[in-house]
Structure 1
Amino acid sequence: MPVDPILSLFSDRFFMGSVAVYVLAMLMHAVEYAAARDAPAKVLVGAGAPVEAEAADPVEPPAPAGRTRAERFGRMAVSLTVLGVLLHLGSLVMRGLAAQRWPLGNMYEFTSAICLAAVVGWLVVLHRSPALRRAGVFVLTPVLILMFLAGTVLYAQAAPVVPALQSYWLVIHVTTVTLASGLFLVTGVASLLYLLSRSGKAAGLVAKLPSTDVLDRVAYRVTVVAFPIYTFAVIAGAIWAEAAWGRFWGWDPKETVAFVAWVVFAAYLHARATAGWRTNRAAWINVLGFAVVVFNLFFINMVVAGLHSYAGL
C-alpha cells in the first residue's frame, strides 16, 4: 500500500511540536517547583528513615490575594501538557493514516506511543490528586529523553510493516503492552522519588515533593491498573505466537524478559501487601520492574536477535 508523504510529513511535524510543548511544560513545572514552599517537615522516628510529619496530601496554602506564583506556573504547565498530548496523539493518528496501518509497527512508533500513554496516565493521576503536580518535572524528564531517542536514533520513515506484523493481534497485543509500559513509567518515577525522599539523600532535590505516603500510594495504585493490562498483553502475545509460529511459548529473548518483568511486578504487588516489605523494599522491586521493561524495550529489541526483531532500525 502506498504511503501518503503529506500525512507522514505532518505526523513528523506534530511529533516535533509535541516535544517542544512538553519541554515548555517541563520548564514551567521546574519554575513551579523552585517557587513552591517546602513540603511538611520530616521528623525522625526512632532510628528509622525520616517519616513525614503529615500523611495527608500536601496542598500549598492559598496566597492572601489570588494564586501563588508557583500555582500559576503549575497550572500553565498542566495546560501545556494537555496541548502536547493533543499534538502527540495527532502525530500517531497521522502516522497510521499515512501508512494505512496501526501506528505501532516499529521502535519509533512504539516508543512514541509509550510516552503518550505515560503522559496521559500522569494527567489522570493529576486529575485525582492535584497536589502531585510538583512532581511533574520528574515525570516529563524521562518522557522527553525517550521522545528524543525516538525522534533521532529510533526514527523510521512511515512504511508498511513486514508480513509477520500484518495481523489484528498487532492492535491487541502491542497496544496493551504500550499502555502498560507507559503506566509503569509513572510508577517507576513515583517509587524512585519515594526512595529518594525516605533516604534523606538529595534532600535539596526532593524537599518540595509530596509526602512519601502520597508517592507510595500513586506507585501502588497505578501499578494495580497497569499490571492486569500487562498480564493480558503477555497472554495475547502467547496466542499470537501460536498463530504465527505454531507454539505459545518458545523462550524467545523478548518473551523471556517480558515474563521476568511480569514476575517482578507481581512480586511488587505481593510485597506491598506483606508486612515488613511494603516500604523501601517494595519500592525497590517496583523500580527494578520498570528497569526490566526499559531493558526489554531497548536492549532486547536493538541488540539481541530473536523472533521479535521488528525494530525497524
Structure 2
Amino acid sequence: MNWLDISSSAFIAAFFLYCFAFLFYVIAVAGRKWSNRKPEEHVRKWSRVGFVFSTIGLAAHLVFFFTRWAGAGHIPTSNMYEFMTFLGMSIMIAFTIIYLIYRSPLLGMFALPLTIVIVAYAAVFPQKVQPLVPALQSNWLKVHVTTAALGEAFFAVGFAAGLMYLLRVIDFKGTDKAARRAQRWIEFTLYVIIVIVGFIGAVFLFRGMDYQASFTQTTISYDKTGAESITEDKVEYTLPPIVKPYNSETTSIEPFLGMKSPLFEAPSWMNGANAGRKLNTVIWSVIAGTLLYGLLRLVFRKPLGAVIHPTLEGIDPEDLDEISYRSIAIGFPVFTLGALIFAMIWAEQAWGRFWGWDPKEVWALITWLYYSAYLHLRLSRGWQGHRSSWLAVIGFIVVMFTLIGVNLIIAGLHSYAGVDG
C-alpha cells in the first residue's frame, strides 16, 4: 500500500471540504436575511451542514497526517510543508472544540478561511518526504511540535473571534477621529491577510507557467587567520526576478512582461544565498496582494471592513469577545508546555543547554510574554472589548512571524525547518 499516495489524495480532499464548509457557514450567516425560513431555522440548518463538511474535512486531514507518518516513517512535522499542514489541522481541532462549546456559525466563517490560507501556504513548499536531520531524531519532536502547534491553533481561533468583534463594533460610517483611526487599522489588517493570499496566488500562477530564472552568486569570506575563500552558489527563482542576489551574475532568465533583467540587486547586508530570492518573494507578495485588494475595492466600491460589517449585525459582540478570550486562555498553557518547557528539555538533550538565545527560542519567548501580558491585562486590568480584541489580533501576527519570518528569514539552529522553502 502506497501511504504517500493516500496521504496526497486526503490532503486535497481536506482542502476542498474546508472550502465547501466555509461556503456553507457564509450561507448560514449572510443568507439568513434572504431565506424564506425563520432566521433561526436557516442558521441552524446551514450551520449543521457546514459543521458536517468541516468535520469530514478534519477527518480527511487526519488521514493525511497519519498516512504520511506511515509513509515517511516519522511524524510529519519536520519541515515547513509538514508543520504548516499540521498547524492547519490543529486550527480545525481547536475550532471544532470551541464550536461545540459556543455553537457559533460565525466562527466558522472566519476560522475556515484562516485554515484554508495556511493549508494553501503549506502547499507552496516542496512536498517530498525527506529523512530527519540528526537534530530532529528524538521523541521530543512529537511532544514539542504538536503541543506548541495546538497552542498556536487556539491563538488562531482567538484571533478570528477578535477580528470578528472589531468588524462587528467598529462604526464604519463614523467620521470622527477615533472612528477613522479604527477603520484604517482594521482595513490594514484585512490588507495584510490579502497580501498573504496574493503571495500564494502568485506562487501557484508562476509555478503553473513553469517560470524559472537562475543566478550564480559569489561570496567572499575570511577565516580567523585572514585567509580569503570564495564560494559560488546557484540561486533559482520561481518568480520573475525584480531583485537579484547580491554580487551575482545571471545564468538564465525568462522574460516576463518585457522585463528581461532584474531591476536591482539585493543589498549587501542581506546575508545568505537565498536572501535575494526571499526579498523578491516579499516584493511579489506585496504587488499581488495590492492588486487583489485594489480589485476587491473596485468591485465593492467601499472598504472591505464596511463590506463585511453588515453580515455581523445581530451578533452579540460580547459573545465574540468571550470566545476570543476563552480560546487564548485554553491555548496559553498548552503553548507554555510545548513551546517553552518541552522545547527546553529537548534543547538540553540535543545541544547540552536549556537556553541559547537562538532566534526561534527568543521569538517563542516573546510570544509567550505577549500572551502572558494579554491575560494579565484582561484579568487584572479589565481590558475587554476593543482593547482585548486588538491584542488578540496583534498577538497572532506575532505568532505568524515566529512561525514564518524566523524560519525563512533569520538564520539559526531552527533553520532546518525552512530549508525547503
Is the shorter-chain TM-score for this pair beyond 0.5, marking a shared fold?
yes
Alpha-carbon distance in 2 for matches of 1:168, 1:230: 18
Q: Distance in 2 between matches of 1:155 and 1:181?
A: 23
Counterpart Cα distance in 2 of 1:211 and 1:204: 19
Q: How far apart are the structure 2 equivalents of 1:31 and 1:277?
A: 33
Say whether residues 1:250 and 2:356 are aligned partners. yes
Where does residue 122 of structure 1 map in the other structure?
95
In the TM superposition, 1:108-147 aligns within 5 A as 108-130=81-103, 132-147=104-119
Q: Per-residue displacement from partner, 1:129-149 (whole Å, max 9, x unpaired)? A: 11x112312111111011011
| Rounded Cα–Cα distance in structure 2 between residues aligned with 1:239 and 1:118 | 25
Residues 72 and 155 of structure 1, relative CA distance in 2, 3 Å threshold: farther
The unaligned stretches of length 5 or more in structure 2 are 173-304
Residue 29 (structure 1) aligns with: 25
Corresponding residue of 1:300: 406
Q: Deviations over 1:223-254 (max 9, x none)?
A: 11110011111111111111111211111111
The separation in 1 between residues aligned to 2:346 and 2:386, in whole angstroms, is: 38
The corresponding residue for 1:157 is 128
Q: In the TM superposition, what whole-angstrom CA distance separates every residue of 1:177-235 from its partner, at most 9, and x where no partner exists? A: 11111111101111111122222233551334331110111111111111001111111
Moved beyond 6 Å, runs of 4+? none
What RMSD, in angstroms, separates the aligned Cα atoms of the two structures?
2.0
Q: Distance in 1 between matches of 2:66 and 2:127?
A: 16
Select which of 135, 151, 155 maps to 1:184. Answer: 155
**Which of 15, 19, 24 is the aligned partner of 1:19?**
15
Q: Which residue matches 1:226?
A: 331
For residue 74 of structure 1, report the CA deviation from its aligned partner: 2.0
List gaps (5 residues or longer) in structure 1.
39-61
> Which residue number corresponds to residue 260 of structure 1?
366
Task: Quote how far apart the aligned CAs of 1:100 are.
Answer: 1.0
- Higher RCO structure (Cα 8 Å, ≥6 apart): 1
- Residue aligned with 1:310, SS: helix
Q: Which moved more, 1:27-36 or 1:296-305?
A: 27-36
Output the TM-score relative to the length of structure 1.
0.85
Q: Show the counterpart of 1:309.
A: 415
Distance in structure 2 (CA, Å) of the matches to 1:289 and 1:309? 23
Higher strand share: 2
Equivalent position SS for 1:250: coil
Partner AA of 1:9 in structure 2: D
TM-score by length of 2: 0.64
How many percent identity over aligned positions?
Answer: 34
Q: What code does the residue aligned with 2:322 have?
A: R
Describe the SS at the equivalent of 2:348: helix
Give SS of 2:8's match. helix
1:288 maps onto 2:394 in alignment = yes
CA distance in 2: counterparts of 1:161 and 1:127, whole angstroms: 37
Residues 242 and 248, structure 1, Cα contact 8 Å, conserved in 2: yes
User: Distance in 2 between the 1:237 and 1:11 partners?
Assistant: 28
- Tell me if 1:63 matches 2:38: yes
Matched letter for residue 109 of structure 1: E
Q: Give the match's secondary structure for 2:414.
A: coil
Distance 2:306 2:377 in 1: 26
Residue number in structure 2 paired with 1:58? none
Q: How far 1:73 sits from its partner (Å)?
A: 2.2
Partner Cα separation in structure 1 for residue 44 and residue 330 of structure 2: 29
> Pick from 156, 163, 171: which aligns with 1:200?
171
Whichever residue aligns with residue 207 of structure 1, its letter is: P
Aligned length: 283
Match of 1:41 in 2: none
